[in-house]
Amino acid sequence: AGADIVNDVTGLRHQPEMAEVAAEADAPLVVMHSAGEPGDLTRPRDYDDVTAQVRDALAQSVETAAQAGVEQIVIDPGFGFGKSNEDNLRLINEVDELLTLNRPVLVGISRKSTIGATLGTPEDPAPVGDRLHGSLGATAVAVMRGATIVRTHDVAPTVKMLKVLSTTLRQP
């Protein structure tokens, strides 16, 4: 019994007691940014400054989790959840602005509709099976900007890309 990790896709907005579940299980907690209500989490919302608003919402989630006694808190900007393609691309490029929360940043960009729209068009996105290279590129940018945890559908190619990336970045 118990949990190895707890992932809350509403950033504890709808079930703040999930933080207590994670604390009692001594499990890491991933708090993801999303907007809207369950069942309507993916429809893009309007943001004045998507990165600042995501950061501020995640700060609230981190505070809720910490008050419940969760020690290991991971933040996830929630690519594809309540954000436009432009919002998602901006967040990828500005992942480093989330580092001010002093928590590991998890990114899950793999095969997202933003990748499909970027490789094709919003009206005619690249098929899911053709999104690997775009997913790898976006993941590389996020990692270079400070993301430390990657969720992906394509583990082997992502590991290879990250190996080359980390080896290259270690060079003088």
The tens digit of pLDDT for each residue in 112-127 reads 999 999 999 999 999 9
Annotated catalytic residue, options 151, 160, 163, 170: 151
Annotated active-site residue 112? The verdict is yes
Sign of the CA dihedral running 149, 154, 160, 161 = negative
| Number of structural domains in the chain | 1
Annotated active-site residue 83? The verdict is no
List of E strands, the chain:
6-8, 29-32, 73-76, 106-107, 149-150
Specify if 91 maps to a domain.
Answer: yes
The reported pTM is 0.95
Annotated catalytic residue, options 55, 103, 112, 145: 112
Specify if 1 maps to a domain.
Answer: no
For position 26, what pLDDT does the model report? Answer: 96
Contact criterion met (CB below 8 Å) for 13 and 63: no
Residue 17 domain boundaries: 6-169
Specify if 142 maps to a domain.
Answer: yes
Q: Give 5-33 pLDDT, tens digit per residue.
A: 999 999 999 999 999 999 999 999 999 99
For position 143, what pLDDT does the model report? Answer: 98
Specify if 122 maps to a domain.
Answer: yes
Average pLDDT over residues 41-64: 97
